[in-house]
Amino acid sequence: MLKRISALVLAGLTAMAVTSCGSGGTTSASSGGGDSTVTMGFSQVGAESGWRTANTKSVQESAKSAGITLKFSDAQQKQENQIKAIRSFIQQRVDVIAFSPVVESGWDPVLKEAQNAKIPVILTDRAVDSTDTSLYKTFLGSDFVEEGKKAGQWLVEEYKDSTDKVNIVELQGTTGSAPANDRKAGFQEVIGADAKFQIVATQTGDFTRAKGKEVMEAFLKSTPDIDVLYAHNDDMGLGAIEAIEGAGKVPGKDIKIITVDAVKDGMQALADGKINFIVECSPLLGPQLMDLAKKVVNGEQVPARVVTEETTFTQEQAKQALPSRQY
C-alpha cells in the first residue's frame, strides 16, 4: 500500500515538474539534488540546432552538479514565449534568471520588471541591445563579431593569389538575433576591404538545417556561379550541402563552405572535405553560468562581460579533433 502511495506521489510530482508555459514554450523543473539553496529560472532559445542541444545539456548537467535547482523553459524560437517565461520566473520568486535572448531588441520592459522584483538577470550566449546595462548583471558568451571576422580572414587568405571576383552567398541566422547581426558585420568588415569579394545573395535560414537546405536550393536556382557559401552555423551549412549535392555540385570544391559552431556533424563534414573551414562557437557555457549565478545571488561582484574562449578548424585540424569532440 505504502509503495502504491509513494508511486502516486512520485507520479504527481513528475507531472508537476513538466508543465506547459502559457500558450507556447515548455517549462520543466529539476532539482540539483543535495541541499540546493539557489533556484535559477532559465529561458532557452529553443532546439533549433546541434549547438543548442549541446548548450541545453551543458546548462542542465551543470545545474545538477552545482546543486542549483533549475526551472528550464524552451521558448521555441519565439520572443513572446521568453517574455512569458521570465514573467513566470518573477512570479515564482526564483533567486536568479538566466536567458539566451532569441533576438536583441525589445527586452527593457520585462528586464525592468525583474529589476523591480530584485531578481538578478544573467545573459548567456546572446546579448540584448538595451542601453541600460544595469538591467542585467553580466553577459557570458562568445564574441560573435570576432567569429565573423575569423570567417572573413580565412576567405581573404584562401583567395589571396586571385584577382577574379568571388561570388559569396550568405545563410544568415535568425533575423534580429545577436549572432546573425554580429557574424554578418564581422565578416563584412574583413571582406569589405577588397572589392573582389561580393555577397551576391543573403537570406536567413533561421539557424536550422531544413531552412538552410531550402534557401540554398533557391540560391542555386537564382544565382549563377556561386564560389563560396558563408553559413552562420553548421546546421544551415549541412542543410546547404544536401542542396548542393542535389544540384549535382561538389560541396567543398565547386562551392567552398565556411560555417560557425564546430559541432560534431559539422566537424565530420569538415573532415570529409565537404566544409572548408569552421569557426568554433562553444556551447559549453553551463559551468561558468552556474558559477556566476552563485556569485550574483550572494551579492558578489562579477565581471560585466565574460567572453568564451574559442578557436577555428581547418580540414586537417578537424580530423585530429573529432575523436575527442564532446558535442
Site residues, ligand AHR (CB under 6 A): 48-49, 51-52, 125-126, 179, 207, 233, 235, 260-261, 281
Nearest distance in Å: CB 263, ligand AHR: 8
Nearer to ligand AHR, 258 or 297 (CB): 258
Nearest distance in Å: CB 72, ligand AHR: 17
CB distance 61 to 289 below 8 Å = no
CB distance 37 to 93 below 8 Å = no
Nearer to ligand AHR, 56 or 167 (CB): 56
Nearer to ligand AHR, 41 or 205 (CB): 205
Q: From the CA atom positions of the chain, what is the Rg in Å?
A: 21
Separation between Cα atoms, residue 226 and residue 248, nearest integer Å: 13
CB distance 197 to 166 below 8 Å = yes
Nearest distance in Å: CB 92, ligand AHR: 26
Pairing mode, strands 26-30 and 68-74: antiparallel
Number of Cβ within 10 Å of residue 26's Cβ equals: 16
Nearest distance in Å: CB 235, ligand AHR: 6
Nearer to ligand AHR, 90 or 263 (CB): 263
Number of Cβ within 10 Å of residue 319's Cβ equals: 15
Nearest distance in Å: CB 214, ligand AHR: 17
Nearer to ligand AHR, 242 or 310 (CB): 310
**AA letter at 129:** D
Q: Which three cell numbers stand for residue 129?
A: 541591445
